[in-house]
Structure 1
């Protein structure tokens, strides 16, 4: 049986130490400030991103890895005869999956599978961790791919943004929602549905109220949640992540609560002080 090599892109937001430990390779997206381009997580970190936003008084643009980026990443493993599974950012939010599929077609005689997570950030990360566990269990590639694809619609992603400007200017939020959010002090709970970001509940007031509402929804649905793992993500909002972890430990029985920091591409669209919660339903 061929060795199975796992790939993702930088928007999976899993910590580098964990990715290295699990031998998951990352193909970075790009962050662009005017005429300067940076590889997400390689040439720029989140602190540097927000420093540049303040310094230049502009929001960054982001772009997908090119087909050449995928070719260069995959080829050494193809040459070794490895099988490849790539799990990437939702095709409805980026051309990343499309570019990966171009190279999948280029290597027609090789064993490459491209999986559209229809998600973002740790929503991708959850699928990667599950795929790793299945590889370690000795499952064959065909069944791993089938299992991961069956989980795509079961990954639940919710996040709370503190600043509408990043979503609005990044094209992820309509002008009406941006205006109303600012005027009415709404802290929206955004969700990922079939690969798209949609507006969920719209509590007014402090961000902590929106977090508590999100937690209450988890408690109500606890019987339908896979308790093996939940991920809490943040962009410069570690205190909120620690609060969520504490509440989950009190009220739920997750085997693992993983805290992560959002990378530069995700932070470019959600902005500072964003918090996300990610889990899989049964």
Structure 2
């Protein structure tokens, strides 16, 4: 029996029974929706109609409840959050730990988001189920985190700029000459890594990034998207056509509404990690 319980936030997209999930919120035209319960169509409609969309972090009290629930069953709790550079969720979790005054709660900034954060959690859960100690699990976290990053392909940078996640200059550059920007999110930093012309050029760039990794190790690829499943299916097939048994590729489904609200329509995230 494992001795470590887990708490994650709703941007992980985790729907299983082996962790407590603390939800963020999406606010559309001043109406609040709980992340993970809002229908995909509601957010997509809001993005298409340029409605006011904001997001908010969970209250510390929600983390207090989650920690107490996990501590009823486990000796330790590891709380994983999306990157603190994207949200105040990490800070809320730490406030909750201070309220409880318990040193057996460990708060971890994954420095990533969505499929990247979910993959990290799933790997740590496996280790805990194997009976690994807290120190061993935390040591593996550092290795897993360093080996992965997310590439975002977006149709329009304006949503990221409006939400304050990207500078205006980068947004202007990305909107020129039908450029399709490629963004990289690694260890808490979001940058415009490349600018290509057209969707197929974007796909080719991402495929080339995977090829460079697979030359040296096995890799995992997790695909997620905002509203266009066709994009995800298309790049999935391109990965499969590489016919390389060192590549483990899956489509994880739609992005969490909180994340999708900042990425925008046509957005897609591809998590690449060395195993």
When normalised by structure 2's length, the TM-score is 0.91
Report how far residue 181 of structure 1 moved: 1.9
Structure 2 residue 32 is matched with structure 1 residue 37: yes
Report how far residue 79 of structure 1 moved: 3.6
Structure 2 residue 229 is matched with structure 1 residue 235: no
Instruction: Give yes or no for contact 1:32–1:60 (8 Å, CA) kept in 2.
Output: yes
**RMSD of the TM alignment (CA)?**
1.9
Structure 2 residue 250 is matched with structure 1 residue 250: no
> Number of residues paired by the alignment?
273
Instruction: Specify every segment of 5 or more residues in structure 2 that has no aligned partner in the other structure, as ranges.
Output: none
| Moved segments of 4+, more than 4 Å | none
Write the distance in 2 (CA, Å) between the matches of 1:6 and 1:177: 37
- Provide, for residues 142-177 of structure 1, a one-character-per-residue CA deviation record: whole Å limited to 9, x for no partner: 211121123222212111001222112111222222
Pair 276,134 (structure 1): closer, same or farther in 2 beyond 3 Å: same
Pair 231,225 (structure 1): closer, same or farther in 2 beyond 3 Å: farther
Write the distance in 2 (CA, Å) between the matches of 1:62 and 1:201: 28
When normalised by structure 1's length, the TM-score is 0.89
Report how far residue 46 of structure 1 moved: 2.3
Query: What does residue 11 of structure 1 align with?
Result: 11
Structure 2 residue 86 is matched with structure 1 residue 93: yes
Report how far residue 257 of structure 1 moved: 2.0
Write the distance in 1 (CA, Å) between the matches of 2:245 and 2:232: 17
Which residue of 209, 212, 231 maps to 1:217? 209
- Provide, for residues 96-155 of structure 1, a one-character-per-residue CA deviation record: whole Å limited to 9, x for no partner: 111111122233335211111101111101101111211222212221112112322221
Instruction: Specify every segment of 5 or more residues in structure 1 that has no aligned partner in the other structure, as ranges.
Output: none
Write the distance in 1 (CA, Å) between the matches of 2:70 and 2:213: 42
Report how far residue 255 of structure 1 moved: 6.0
Report how far residue 179 of structure 1 moved: 2.2
- Provide, for residues 245-281 of structure 1, a one-character-per-residue CA deviation record: whole Å limited to 9, x for no partner: 2222221324632212101011000011111111222
Write the distance in 2 (CA, Å) between the matches of 1:220 and 1:197: 21
Write the distance in 1 (CA, Å) between the matches of 2:134 and 2:40: 35
Write the distance in 2 (CA, Å) between the matches of 1:225 and 1:11: 28
Instruction: Give yes or no for contact 2:3–2:128 (8 Å, CA) kept in 1.
Output: no
Query: What does residue 147 of structure 1 align with?
Result: 140
Write the distance in 1 (CA, Å) between the matches of 2:77 and 2:152: 30
Matches within 5 A, 1:44-123: 44-55=38-49, 57-109=50-102, 111-123=104-116
Which residue of 116, 122, 146 maps to 1:129? 122
